[in-house]
Structure 1
């Protein structure tokens, strides 16, 4: 289940590497426990520093008969003692106690996860959000929870500006909600984050794909000058071109085929519009140039900055052919 549907149970797994979502899921479970019993005893353990018997003590009946919620962090680095005690506990959970197990990923503790799955223990998915489409969906949902909406351009601009870190993205949503009213448009996002937008690889990629070589190079040099590494800039170019290639491959096959691409509707619309100035040959040339730059910025070339600038110019030149 997603983090915002996390529901208390005798044992709950909170799985995945996105700490912000995991923290929210656990906060939600704690809030549910306190809503049911305001004086619930919340006990927190660290599986990485666990010694034998701690789980038994934490889940034992309280002197005052309060319910308990035990939150165990760091199961992905658990001690052998914790693994043994937790496996035993799964077979006989204590009455009046809910246990939340936080596992951020990796092989450590896999026996426990497998046993929990076999016992039908509910799991909350907190996987990292990496794609632009998922980040856009996160922004939209974040604003909706605050009773607000943003237009598609504003969502894209915000993701471009601060989308590399989910905490920053959530904080940016909170700021926009607090400092604006009504529908959030792109002009509001640019007012707060315009400088950061200009320094991202996505703005460089947008300009290059549009054939605006001068602007693309100017944005590139500004991005490099503000500390952005060439690698994510090349990654942004590659992502942009892959999106164009995906949409080009399904043009004429109807909306159903476009939905199967896993892209947001606004991404498909934008790529469709941008493809009007691209030929298959030009797209192939641009993809080849970016592939070469990718190899060079990752160690095969001596000057990563030169490699990415050459790729930007090649993409801009290939546009419109």
Structure 2
């Protein structure tokens, strides 16, 4: 049964839209007919418009109202939203999409105290978070997969949640639920995005010529620059995290790191030649690259070339401290 109040907490557009679709479908099942969705942006809607939307309907029509970007709500709209939370009229389902920050940050607490059903819509920050997302997507279809399958999915598909969700659905459908490492490799063999991880692996192992060659191929074939930057960042951060644990068994460290043991073992091998100072410098390089490929640099291609070269050159050579 549909609840009257939902808090969509986070900033990921795909997760927010999926949550809205699920609530809308549930409301339609409850009423026995399609339910209209009304969208309002918190920073633009007037107090009068919002009050009218949240007022009881004379005909008891079912309505789903989505308040977008609630963190940016003005003082009056924010006050109307919070004052309505305890007495939402029958037939109205209120969804409040809130990033968790913004000038109306206090609204989150008010929604939680009012008993809002909270749906996590935050963009995963770490590789382990994305691995959890993929695992949950498979579980939602009734399919259990190994850690290595999850790792391959992330390596082949990338970090975009919409693409990951679609890939999980497609793989489950095409394999009848028998999703193995071989199935993932067969399905995604030749995907250009794989090059991002090839480039990153070559860079962190000091193969400058190989990294440059693979980067040129990827850019020529239109691989998104953000994908390439993310792959390099994940390789550098992965080495930093594994080095921080010291000499540990990959099997025992896998759960703490949120990685398959095979990935831990690979990062241990890659990180053996790195020292703390150089991996710290590499982390600074990929942090700057993240901003550059998202619009802060005039030439993202040049930034990528410079970052890949910098990471490869930072990797200590044999005989060099």
The verdict on a shared fold, with TM-score over 0.5 as the criterion, is: yes
- Contact 1:40 1:69 (8 Å CA) reproduced: no
Q: Aligned with 2:190: secondary structure?
A: helix
Partner Cα distance (1:247, 1:275) in 2:
6
Aligned match of 2:119: 124
Q: How does 1:1-321 map to 2 (within 5 A)?
A: 8-39=2-33, 41-48=35-42, 49-181=44-176, 182-186=178-182, 188-189=184-185, 191-192=187-188, 194-200=190-196, 202-209=197-204, 215-227=210-222, 233=228, 236-251=231-246, 258=253, 261=256, 263-266=257-260, 268-276=261-269, 279=272, 282-284=274-276, 287=279, 290=282, 293-294=285-286, 304=303, 307-311=306-310, 313-314=312-313, 318=317
- Residue 229 to residue 56, structure 1, CA distance change in 2 (3 Å): closer
Partner Cα distance (2:96, 2:26) in 1:
16
Number of aligned residue pairs: give it.
Answer: 310
Partner Cα distance (1:197, 1:64) in 2:
53
- Contact 1:73 1:101 (8 Å CA) reproduced: yes
- Residue 313 to residue 12, structure 1, CA distance change in 2 (3 Å): closer
What displacement does 1:57 show? 3.4
- Residue 90 to residue 214, structure 1, CA distance change in 2 (3 Å): same
Aligned match of 1:4: none
What displacement does 1:99 show? 1.8
Q: Aligned with 1:195: secondary structure?
A: coil
User: Which has the larger displacement, 172-181 or 126-135?
Assistant: 172-181
- Contact 2:10 2:121 (8 Å CA) reproduced: yes
What displacement does 1:23 show? 1.8
Partner Cα distance (1:68, 1:82) in 2:
19
Partner Cα distance (1:294, 1:285) in 2:
15
Question: What residue ranges of structure 2 are gaps of 5+ in the alignment?
Answer: none
- Residue 177 to residue 294, structure 1, CA distance change in 2 (3 Å): closer
Partner Cα distance (1:25, 1:232) in 2:
26
- Residue 81 to residue 196, structure 1, CA distance change in 2 (3 Å): same
Partner Cα distance (2:314, 2:288) in 1:
16
Partner Cα distance (2:15, 2:240) in 1:
32
TM-score (norm 1): 0.75
TM-score (norm 2): 0.75
- Residue 85 to residue 34, structure 1, CA distance change in 2 (3 Å): same
- Contact 1:43 1:69 (8 Å CA) reproduced: yes
User: Which has the larger displacement, 172-181 or 226-235?
Assistant: 226-235
Aligned match of 1:3: none
RMSD: 4.0
Partner Cα distance (1:290, 1:208) in 2:
10
